[in-house]
């Protein structure tokens, strides 16, 4: 009788956070991420001691730092994955604004650490690369704008996201950091495609990318050197690509043995950009295929779960994060085997780097939050609701 007069009381979700999270999270993706982190520690033990010795540090200095920052990344990932999509969006928008301002101030306050590109803020005991944190938060910002544009009377979200993307790509290209710029462009393009962009516009965007690459080749000696080195059929054996190529060749199917590799003594970036070369030399093709399988599992499972998602924002954001995660891994490994020009990009959760590890934890935590199981309803119910 009370319900007839006052209506039914709203049902509150009283299930505890941890049991609900464990019941709804994608455990396969979570397991793959933890395995990648474990492989990163294992490969760090092999690749980083020579660099520590050259720098006069304790043998496991870089491994200890990787374990510390990786532990923080895992904590951030778990906490982020427990959040609701609404909370993820709100925090990501604030994070995007902070990262965007930090990126804009790099020419004034940043440093290049002698590498020729101003990408970092030096904090004395550590450094921060704003572009690493800008990538996942930009995806959320762009997805929010695109989803808002689909609402009746909503803003021109695609146009706003396009302007934002072009601004960030130009800022990154001026550092120069063409690798991160290409990731931002690719992630936005995937979300635009999922949002139903006409194919002619995507082809036009591809044409603009080609023209931009031609302009960068003529205007940037840094960019031109990397393209020329990639197109040159002869690989200088004393360059990083030469050492990496030889290490992969020497590793064969099963590798030369744990601790028996030599490339880590020659490559200054053996623990970061070329960590896969160390894996290929000491553990062989078997380890490389296992790493590729883990990345592929994360991306494919995420996309499959997102295909059932009815919320446009979650679908756009999750797809952008998954695509960007997979392409970054593909670029890193492609550079090592000389399928792509050198980009200076880390292998997610495997390479050494505080900013990349923590930013990766944030990005994958967001992806796990978006791919958690939620009641979606049947598509037929939605279609019938629209016709009423």
Q: What is the pLDDT of residue 222?
A: 66
Q: Which of 174, 164, 169 is nearest to 144 (CA)?
A: 164
CA separation for the pair 291, 35 (Å, rounded): 9
% pLDDT > 90, the chain = 45
Better pLDDT: 363 or 341: 363
Across 320-348, average pLDDT: 88
Between the CA of residue 342 and those of 178, 215, 284, what are the distances in Å?
10, 18, 22
First to last CA, the chain: 30
Tell me the CB-side half-sphere exposure of residue 47, using CA atoms within 13 A. Answer: 30
Tell me which DSSP letter residue 121 carries.
E
pLDDT in tens, 75-120: 999 999 999 999 999 999 999 999 999 999 998 888 887 776 788 8
Tell me the CB-side half-sphere exposure of residue 238, using CA atoms within 13 A. Answer: 0
Q: What is the pLDDT of residue 238?
A: 65
Packing angle between helix 130-149 and helix 85-104, nearest 10 degrees?
Answer: 130
pLDDT above 80 for 275: yes
Torsion sign over Cα 194, 346, 334, 350: negative
pLDDT in tens, 137-157: 999 999 999 999 888 888 898
pLDDT above 60 for 387: no
Residue count (the chain): 388
What pTM, to 2 d.p., does this model score? 0.88
DSSP assignment of 58-91 equals: -TTHHHHHHHHHHHHHHHHHHHHHTS-HHHHHHH
Between the CA of residue 233 and those of 227, 230, 239, what are the distances in Å?
12, 8, 14
* Count of helices and strands (H, E) across the chain: 17, 2
CA separation for the pair 340, 330 (Å, rounded): 10
DSSP assignment of 229-274 equals: HHH-SSPPTTSHHHHHHHHHHHHTTT-S-TT---GGGT-TTTTTTT
Across 202-227, average pLDDT: 75
CB 48 within 8 A of CB 60: yes
Return the SS3 of 10: coil
Residue bearing tokens 């690509």: 241
pLDDT above 90 for 372: yes
**Which of the residue ranges 47-51, 236-240, 336-340 would you say has the lowest mean pLDDT?**
236-240
CA separation for the pair 55, 102 (Å, rounded): 29
Residue 198 — pLDDT band, cuts 50, 70, 90?
confident
């Amino acid at each position: 009788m009370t319900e007839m007069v006052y209506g039914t009381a709203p049902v509150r979700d009283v299930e505890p956070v941890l049991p609900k999270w464990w019941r709804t999270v994608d455990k396969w993706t979570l397991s793959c991420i933890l395995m990648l982190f474990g492989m990163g520690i294992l490969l760090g033990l092999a690749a980083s001691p020579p660099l520590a010795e050259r720098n006069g540090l304790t043998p496991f200095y870089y491994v200890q730092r990787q374990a510390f920052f990786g532990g923080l990344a895992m904590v951030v990932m778990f906490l982020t994955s427990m959040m609701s999509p609404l909370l993820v969006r709100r925090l990501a928008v604030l994070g995007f604004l902070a990262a965007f301002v930090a990126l804009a101030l790099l020419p004034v306050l940043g440093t290049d650490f002698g590498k020729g590109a101003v990408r970092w803020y030096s904090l004395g005991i550590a450094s921060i690369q704003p572009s690493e944190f800008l990538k996942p938060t930009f995806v959320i910002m762009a997805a929010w704008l695109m989803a808002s544009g689909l609402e009746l009377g909503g803003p021109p979200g695609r146009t706003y996201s396009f302007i934002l993307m072009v601004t960030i790509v130009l800022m990154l290209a001026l550092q120069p950091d063409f690798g991160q710029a290409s990731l931002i462009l690719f992630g936005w393009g995937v979300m635009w495609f999922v949002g139903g962009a006409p194919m002619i516009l995507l082809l036009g965007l591809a044409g603009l990318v080609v023209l931009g690459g031609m302009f960068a080749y003529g205007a940037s000696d840094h960019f031109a050197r990397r393209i020329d080195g990639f197109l040159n059929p002869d690989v200088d054996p004393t360059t990083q690509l030469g050492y990496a190529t030889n290490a992969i060749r020497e590793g064969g199917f099963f590798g030369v043995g744990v601790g028996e590799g030599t490339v880590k003594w020659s490559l200054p970036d053996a623990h970061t950009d070329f960590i896969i070369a160390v894996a290929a030399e000491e553990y062989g093709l078997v380890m490389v295929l296992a790493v590729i399988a883990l990345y592929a599992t994360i991306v494919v499972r995420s996309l499959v779960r997102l295909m059932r998602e009815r919320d446009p924002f979650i679908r756009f954001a999750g797809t952008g994060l998954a695509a960007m995660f997979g392409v970054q891994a593909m670029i890193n490994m492609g550079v090592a085997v000389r399928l792509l020009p050198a980009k200076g990009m880390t292998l997610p959760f495997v390479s050494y780097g505080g900013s990349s590890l923590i930013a990766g934890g944030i990005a994958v935590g967001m992806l796990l939050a978006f791919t958690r199981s939620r009641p979606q309803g049947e598509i037929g119910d939605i279609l019938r609701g629209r016709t009423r």
